[in-house]
A and B are shown apart, each in its own frame.
Chain A
Amino acid sequence: MFARGLKRKCADHEEDMGGALAGFRAVPSYSLQRQSLLDMSLVKLQLCHMLVEPNLCRSVLIANTVRQIQEEMTQDGTWRVAAPQSTGRAPLDRLVSTEILCRSMREQDGVHPAPGMGDDHVLGPGSELSTVTSAQTPRDPQNSVWEMDSPRENRGNFQKSLDQIFETLETRNPSSAEELFSDMDSSYYDLDTVLTGVVSRAEPGPCDGLQGLPPVATPASSSSCKSDLGELDHVMEILVET
């Protein structure tokens, strides 16, 4: 209800800005791009079974980005149905201009939106935009999950889930034997791994030039398929109000 009303408001707002914007209706708006960035960041933080302890610096930077987006979205009061992602993901060996998100506040049309205002400040021309998709390989079973329309939870639950994601490292007690055999679901909250979390098991770091750039999240190996599905369910539970 909240989302629907907001959407209509945005559409009106778009139309209010006149025909000049009509040509840009196909272009994803700032808020869509921001939502995509949020999705992508959450995927990057997502716990997968890793062989090597992931990079803490990278995880902290991504987590900070998520917090920033969350703060801004909270100020905007914007929680809305995500539009369907565009097909495919940007090829990794070529850059596509994604200017909107990289633009400074000053360059954006108008002023930083006051809370309650339509969040659609459609930006100026000139960018060959591609939707920032959560970069998943098509065969990844999680892919369809991230791409389908899913109602975003309200502010409160999101904050809660974000806090859950940033659980203290000390919850992982190394001397506890059950640690090693613990339920896979609880390992999602765990550790180091969440904050340091992410990504492909095959990834020692982004510098692995010979292998090319790995996708953001590679599919888990068959042996951990079941636990991955468990994690997936868990993630979905958090994101989708059930």
Chain B
Amino acid sequence: SLLLAVSLPTADIISTVEFNHTGELLATGDKGGRVVIFQREPESKNAPHSQGEYDVYSTFQSHEPEFDYLKSLEIEEKINKIKWLPQQNAAHSLLSTNDKTIKLWKITERDKRPEGYNLKDEEGKLKDLSTVTSLQVPVLKPMDLMVEVSPRRVFANGHTYHINSISVNSDCETYMSADDLRINLWHLAVTDRSFNIVDIKPANMEDLTEVITASEFHPHHCNLFVYSSSKGSLRLCDMRAAALCDKHSKLFEEPEDPSNRSFFSEIISSVSDVKFSHSGRYMLTRDYLTVKVWDLNMEARPLETYQVHDYLRSKLCSLYENDCIFDKFECAWNGSDSVIMTGAYNNFFRMFDRNTKRDVTLEASRESSKPRAVLKPRRVCVGGKRRRDDISVDSLDFTKKILHTAWHPTENIIAIAATNNLYIFQDKVNSDMH
């Protein structure tokens, strides 16, 4: 049972959400190019059952709008993705990217300040040396915690098209960035060059029929990565096989059901997100109407398919008209890979338990969730019997979409971005799903 821990209005529309590897920090990026980092408070000794809640830790401007003078087009400052680097010392580091440029940020804490300099006074001004009669050793005195964020690297000019994904390699030295047609491999310490590892741009742009939609490194095998396409296929690539990984090692594709064919079949098969399971054995994909679990050893079809909102199947033409059919929803695994989660419309999000095969629809909105109240399951009715709190398909608000969700790496804490509100839900009682 989930309850609302905190709901935070944000200044701008949230465009990405990401926990760090311990779950202590939660980063959000927004449309205005800002990054807000939340930190989980340590559990209080006085109330051992009260789990730590998330408070704002740091806010900084990551990207600014730019203007491409050659193309006469603006480059948006919207943060498309944030990925944390594994923590290697006291500092935290993350990568943030907009459509064109990736930046490495270092986040450090300062809670002590040296006092008692010999040559400078408290304000830093040089002392009159004639007043100095003895030498002292400066000491570190505690001060109010200050979080400092500094840009350490800027990885620019690597992409002609819009970056949709970044992924840090398990080697902790390299990372990849993917745009619509190409994937580049970068070394974290080198900003002036990157290696192109996938290029699907056709010689003749007239022949372009497929683009890259998402990509991710395998969590354990540093040579393996996967990328998804707008035609619904997944390609697992091995960087050891060739410098340019245009030939995939494995191609995962579900054959089309000819009886279900319509003009919208391809659009709804386009994969909007792909995530490896924590175990590295499975992949999770999201397309417009479903989430699918794939076994890395089975290319012919997904292991499991879950319907997110199949009631929209008969509305595809309208959803095409108002562009909703192009919405890119993300998906997430829980820490044990037993539950998967994805967002939907009307501020609904869905969870599927892979073991019990039960699913639930929940709502992230102020009206329906008060702090510390247990979330009530929602139901969309499609005609037939309608229960009291059901919502009919025609009443769904398609402007309220939950595109970005994240799950704590180990605990049952989830972060849901609903336009410009961030909701953090925590499991109070147990980790079972209801």
Contacts of A53 in B (CB 8 A): 68, 71, 73-75, 99, 162
The reply to whether B327 and A206 contact each other, CB–CB distance below 8 Å, is yes
The reply to whether A210 and B230 contact each other, CB–CB distance below 8 Å, is no
User: Is B60's beta carbon under 8 Å from chain A?
Assistant: no
B71-85 interface with A by 8 A CB criterion: 71-76, 78
The reply to whether B266 and A65 contact each other, CB–CB distance below 8 Å, is yes
Give the number of chain A interface residues (Cβ < 8 Å): 59
User: Is B244's beta carbon under 8 Å from chain A?
Assistant: no
The reply to whether A40 and B321 contact each other, CB–CB distance below 8 Å, is yes
The reply to whether A208 and B205 contact each other, CB–CB distance below 8 Å, is no
Interface residues on B, range: 35 or more
| A-contact bits for B249-285, CB 8 A (1 contact / 0 none) | 0000000001111111011001000000000000000
Evaluate whether A104 and B162 lie within 8 angstroms (CB atoms) in the complex, with A95-B318, A95-B394, A206-B326 already known.
no
User: Is B397's beta carbon under 8 Å from chain A?
Assistant: yes
A180 to B67, CA, bound (A): 14
A34 to B317, CA, bound (A): 10
A90 to B320, CA, bound (A): 12
A89 to B324, CA, bound (A): 16
Evaluate whether A204 and B213 lie within 8 angstroms (CB atoms) in the complex, with A37-B263, A102-B314 already known.
no
The reply to whether A209 and B321 contact each other, CB–CB distance below 8 Å, is no
- CB closest chain-A residue, reference B396: A95
Contacts of B400 in A (CB 8 A): 209
The reply to whether A90 and B76 contact each other, CB–CB distance below 8 Å, is no
Contacts of B31 in A (CB 8 A): 204
The reply to whether A103 and B162 contact each other, CB–CB distance below 8 Å, is no
B52-66 interface with A by 8 A CB criterion: none
The reply to whether B208 and A60 contact each other, CB–CB distance below 8 Å, is yes
The reply to whether A169 and B263 contact each other, CB–CB distance below 8 Å, is no
User: Is A11's beta carbon under 8 Å from chain B?
Assistant: no
Contacts of B381 in A (CB 8 A): none
Contacts of B262 in A (CB 8 A): 101-105
| B-contact bits for A170-190, CB 8 A (1 contact / 0 none) | 101011000110000000000
Which of A77-85, A143-151, A160-168, A226-234 lies on the face that meets chain B? A160-168
The reply to whether B326 and A61 contact each other, CB–CB distance below 8 Å, is yes
User: Is B248's beta carbon under 8 Å from chain A?
Assistant: no
The reply to whether B327 and A96 contact each other, CB–CB distance below 8 Å, is no
CB distance from B361 to the nearest CB of A (A): 18
With beta carbons under 8 angstroms apart, the residue of B73, B260, B264, B270 that contacts A57 is B270
Contacts of B71 in A (CB 8 A): 53, 172, 174, 192
User: Is A139's beta carbon under 8 Å from chain B?
Assistant: no
A112 to B75, CA, bound (A): 46
A153 to B428, CA, bound (A): 65
The reply to whether B399 and A93 contact each other, CB–CB distance below 8 Å, is yes
The reply to whether B326 and A58 contact each other, CB–CB distance below 8 Å, is yes
With beta carbons under 8 angstroms apart, the residue of B210, B259, B315, B399 that contacts A213 is B399
Evaluate whether A60 and B399 lie within 8 angstroms (CB atoms) in the complex, with A210-B419, A213-B323 already known.
no
- CB closest chain-B residue, reference A165: B206
A172 to B160, CA, bound (A): 13
The reply to whether B316 and A101 contact each other, CB–CB distance below 8 Å, is yes
The reply to whether A106 and B266 contact each other, CB–CB distance below 8 Å, is no
A161 to B263, CA, bound (A): 21
User: Is A20's beta carbon under 8 Å from chain B?
Assistant: no
The reply to whether B211 and A57 contact each other, CB–CB distance below 8 Å, is yes
Contacts of B266 in A (CB 8 A): 61, 64-65, 68
CB distance from A165 to the nearest CB of B (A): 9
User: Is B161's beta carbon under 8 Å from chain A?
Assistant: yes
The reply to whether A101 and B398 contact each other, CB–CB distance below 8 Å, is no
The reply to whether B399 and A57 contact each other, CB–CB distance below 8 Å, is no
User: Is B131's beta carbon under 8 Å from chain A?
Assistant: no
The reply to whether B403 and A207 contact each other, CB–CB distance below 8 Å, is yes
A3 to B415, CA, bound (A): 57
The reply to whether A98 and B322 contact each other, CB–CB distance below 8 Å, is no
The reply to whether B180 and A56 contact each other, CB–CB distance below 8 Å, is yes
With beta carbons under 8 angstroms apart, the residue of B211, B258, B314, B322 that contacts A56 is B211
The reply to whether A167 and B206 contact each other, CB–CB distance below 8 Å, is yes
Most buried by B among A60, A170, A172, A175: A60
User: Is B70's beta carbon under 8 Å from chain A?
Assistant: yes
The reply to whether A105 and B259 contact each other, CB–CB distance below 8 Å, is yes
Most buried by B among A33, A98, A170: A98
Evaluate whether A101 and B208 lie within 8 angstroms (CB atoms) in the complex, with A52-B76, A209-B401 already known.
no
| B-contact bits for A209-242, CB 8 A (1 contact / 0 none) | 1101100100000000000000000000000000
The reply to whether A55 and B259 contact each other, CB–CB distance below 8 Å, is no
A95 to B313, CA, bound (A): 12
The reply to whether B205 and A169 contact each other, CB–CB distance below 8 Å, is yes
User: Is B204's beta carbon under 8 Å from chain A?
Assistant: yes
The reply to whether A210 and B420 contact each other, CB–CB distance below 8 Å, is yes
Most buried by B among A58, A132, A180, A206: A206
The reply to whether A61 and B270 contact each other, CB–CB distance below 8 Å, is yes
Evaluate whether A168 and B321 lie within 8 angstroms (CB atoms) in the complex, with A65-B267, A101-B263, A102-B264 already known.
no
A204 to B32, CA, bound (A): 12
User: Is A50's beta carbon under 8 Å from chain B?
Assistant: yes
The reply to whether B162 and A93 contact each other, CB–CB distance below 8 Å, is no
CB distance from A50 to the nearest CB of B (A): 7
User: Is B13's beta carbon under 8 Å from chain A?
Assistant: yes
Q: Can you offer 18 A-B residue contacts whose CB atoms are under 8 A?
A: A34-B263, A51-B74, A52-B75, A53-B73, A57-B213, A92-B322, A97-B314, A102-B316, A132-B321, A135-B321, A168-B206, A192-B71, A206-B322, A206-B326, A209-B399, A209-B401, A213-B324, A216-B321
Chain B residues within 8 Å of A, Cβ to Cβ: 13, 15, 31, 68, 70-76, 78, 99, 161-162, 180-181, 204-206, 208-211, 213, 230, 258-264, 266-267, 270, 313-324, 326-327, 393-394, 396-401, 403, 419-420
Which 8 A-B pairs give the minimum distances between C-beta atoms? Answer: A98-B317, A168-B205, A206-B323, A169-B205, A166-B206, A106-B259, A209-B419, A56-B180
Given contacts A95-B396, A98-B318, 7 further A-B contacts (CB under 8 A): A53-B74, A53-B99, A89-B321, A135-B322, A195-B208, A207-B403, A216-B321
